[in-house]
Chain A
Amino acid sequence: MSTHFFGLKDWNFQYSHSLGRNEFGGTGFRNPVDMVVSADDVVYVVNRSREDRPDGVRVTMVTLEEDFIGEFGAYGEGDGESIWPTAVALDNEGNVYIADEFLNRISVYTKDGDFIRKWGKAGSANGELDRPAGLAIDGQGTLYVTDSRNHRVQKFTLDGKYIGTFGSFGSEPGQLNMPWGITLDKDGLVLVADWRNDRIQAFTPDGEWQASFGSSGTGIGEFNRPNGVAVDKDGLIYVLDWLNDRVQILNPDGRFITALHGEHQLSRWGKDKLLSNPDMIEQRALAFTWDQGAFEKRLSDPCAVKVDDQNRILVLENTSGRIQVYQKTDTPVLV
């Protein structure tokens, strides 16, 4: 937990609980890469798995209270399948959009996981994709895609009609180098994780550059390949600082507030797994005694961050197959 003075409020980021464990199917995640939370508290987790276990490629649906709802999708090139799924977003109706950065296409599913349609074409011309990496959808039904190897953001209608593009390769303000995560704030400002430039950039919906913040490094306000970005309703910015294994929280103008490093405690599915493997209980107890739980608590290759309307901050971890949930609260400062 950390408490920070910000204007006339103290923000408080309190660890709440965790969900998930490592599994190739069912109640767990395997090398997950992205997630999204629906209005009714369902978390859609995109599992990339690994090449020798294509059976682990799927989308897991789980409630924030860790009740398993189901899963959909599979490895492959057919309808509803993915090779390298990388990002997920929801539209106003709760339909699920999954980007595949190998097949260079977007697949659309109902909120229950039934396949609806797919679109996308590989290339570098307007409307074509080269490793789409991040997705965001605004309230008017515009889909923003970070088109990573074309170093740009492209806008589409929800059925894939090209609307526009912005960004080009480079490190100048407004230029991009293999962008990854993308999000929209409540006013429609577009924030992009400019991955290989180690910074976050903000644009208007039309692509007019507004701000850049961050630089390469391990210090506060510095990033090492940031791959995800989220914004809460107060405008606080959450940056998934990928190779620094942390989430940095910034105020709306990009100044550092605090960082989350992980405070994990056993999830329900995690407990179930341990209870069915008694030898692991003993091993874990010895290790826990040795490091006071430090390894298990800290973020383990975090790969996505989201924040919902209730100020719940979710951090997805790739190698540990779990989500750590924090709750942001605020209290007025007594002056």
Chain B
Amino acid sequence: MADQDIALMAHLFRRAGFGASRDDLEAYAAKGYEATVEELLNPETQPGVEEDLMLRYNQSFRESNQARDQQWLYRMVNEPRQLQEKMALFWHTILCGGNTKIDSGYEMHRMINMFREKGTGSFRDLLLDLSKNPGMIYYLDNSESHKTAVNENYGRELLELFSLGVGMDEQFNYSEDDVKACALAFTGWNIAPAYPPFPYGRSQWQFRFDPADHDDSVKTFLGETGRWNGDDIIDIICKQPGAARFIARHMYDFFVADEPPVPSWRQTPPRDMEAIKTLEKAYFDSGYNIKAMLRALLTSDFFKSEDVRFAKVKNPAEIVAGTLRLVGDHREIKPGLWEIAQECTYMGMNLMDPPTVEGWHTGYEWIDSGTLVERVNFASEYLGQTDLPGVQSLVNHLMALGESLSPAQFVEGSIDLVGTLNLTEDTRQALVAHAQEGGDLRHGTEADRAEFTRRAGEMFQMIASTSEFQFG
């Protein structure tokens, strides 16, 4: 099997999933790129994570605020439907709601589950569900928006951060009057009274449309006039060129290469306008279908290009889940995952609790002196544990390269297996220099195997400590 096939498959799974083991990459490469993309795009063809088992051992997952990131991390690591799970993260970074305000693990999971289930369908359906999502209604104060006292928060963020963005091609996508009309249209979209957390736990929130609290007046929104309700507003949004541009740029940023921050999109053109146009066309040709956009993206030359591989700084969830998948830990349900899930927070990404509705600042902004130490320490700690099944597998692959490996062969093999193929020549030479201190590696005797394994674990740790490991 060609190394470039494995490298491309590794790229696909870093972006469209949370990484894959060497064995899985080889199996997918044998299956073929197009077929693998189709499998990712059609999660219903794969068995999902075994929810009954997950709940059996963690019954608190059903309601706990605190276990929310633990549960999601478990899914990222173990969900066979990797793209579906990655899309849940994608939408969570854009259609932001946070637990600090919502304060309900159940509602946060309901929101993420909506992204999981609707994240590759129609953008219209997704926005409609989002607008009826009780957590979002509360998070952006639509529960405080009334016919006689309008709160514009949801209406504004729906346009600015969830669907159109401020502008494109140096033009504005909407006006202040459009914000007001949008907010008026969503009056009456509210939540039914819910039980408090004490003494038996919160009840599940329910969407409630209150016609008496809805402004039914004639409104003009994005140039169209009528007695618009919230669903009419979403219909009008979805047919805007700005909606296609907004999703296309977010997709490019998340899956292909880091884009400049969203607030600058009105003045700053996309990094690759041709790619964006391809995605916009898929959006309109398919009737706003996200899966069609993903298919266009994942099968495109601009996605497969070697120029964009390792061009993205991994987000903390990718670091944590990707490392666990590589080393094969927590692939069965056992204690200890909650503490690991907190690593995402230490690295700057408190899952289900973004800092603001704007979400996280991504790309190089993931890295500062504190988070970099966390990222390096986490990955190197796990990659050095040679008793973990995934690490054992890497060592076995390395041993299979030959009865005796020179330091240079050992380093190249390790780099290939850990998947950090973007190492600079200086870094490679430094690793080879270190390996040369121990001489050639053999595994013919038990003592040799033990020493080989020790040195392999050490080399994996060193690779995980390179700056290049931070890119995916």
Contact = CB atoms under 8 A, between A and B. Distances in A.
Interface stretch (A119-127, A161-169, A294-302): A294-302
A111 interface: no
B335 A84 contact: yes
Contacts of A180: 56
Contact of A321 (B52, B56, B194, B200): B200
A277 B60 contact: no
A320 B338 contact: no
A21 B62 contact: no
Interface in A1-53: 21-22, 28, 31, 33, 48-53
A320 B200 CA distance: 4
A320 B70 CA distance: 20
Interface in A47-103: 48-53, 83-84, 101-102
Contact of B198 (A53, A196, A273, A322): A273
A303 interface: yes
Interface in B49-106: 52, 55-60, 62-64, 66-67, 70
A102 B204 CA distance: 31
Interface string A167-208: 000000000001010000000000000011000000000000
Nearest to A301: B62
A31 B60 contact: yes
What is the size category of the interface that chain B forms with chain A?
A: 20 to 34
Nearest to B58: A50
B202 to A, nearest CB: 9
Nearest to B57: A84
Interface stretch (A139-147, A285-293, A305-313): A285-293
Interface centre among B194, B197, B334 (most CB of A within 10 A): B194
Contacts, number: 108
A270 interface: yes
A33 B337 CA distance: 20
B195 interface: yes
Contacts of A274: 198-199
Nearest to B194: A287
B66 A50 contact: yes
Contacts of A52: 66-67, 70, 338
B192 A277 contact: no
A287 B203 contact: yes
A19 to B, nearest CB: 12
Interface string B305-346: 000000000000000000000000000001111110000000
Contacts of A269: 199
Contacts of B196: 277, 279-280, 283-284, 287
Contacts of B70: 51-52
Interface centre among A21, A51, A267, A277 (most CB of B within 10 A): A51
Contact of A283 (B52, B62, B67, B195): B195
A318 B193 contact: no
Interface string B165-199: 00000000000000000000000000011111111
Contact of B59 (A83, A270, A287, A318): A318
B334 A102 contact: yes
B261 interface: no
Contacts of B63: 301, 319
Given A51-B339, A52-B66, A273 B199 contact: yes
B67 A243 contact: no
Given A50-B66, A270-B200, A102 B193 contact: no
B263 interface: no
Contacts of B55: 243
B60 A49 contact: yes
A296 B195 contact: yes
A260 B174 CA distance: 55
B211 interface: no
B199 A22 contact: yes
Nearest to A276: B198
A50 B64 contact: yes
Contacts of A300: 200-201
B200 A283 contact: no
A22 B200 contact: yes
Contacts of A322: 200
B199 A53 contact: no
Contacts of A50: 58, 60, 64, 66-67, 338
Given A274-B198, A284-B195, A291-B192, 11 more contacts: A52-B67, A83-B335, A84-B57, A102-B334, A178-B56, A227-B56, A273-B199, A280-B196, A280-B198, A286-B193, A301-B59
User: What 3 A-B pairs have minimum CB-CB distances, sorted nearest first?
Assistant: A51-B338, A50-B60, A273-B199
21 contacts: A21-B198, A31-B59, A33-B59, A50-B60, A50-B67, A50-B338, A51-B67, A51-B338, A52-B67, A84-B57, A180-B56, A225-B52, A274-B198, A283-B194, A287-B196, A287-B203, A295-B204, A300-B200, A303-B59, A320-B201, A321-B201
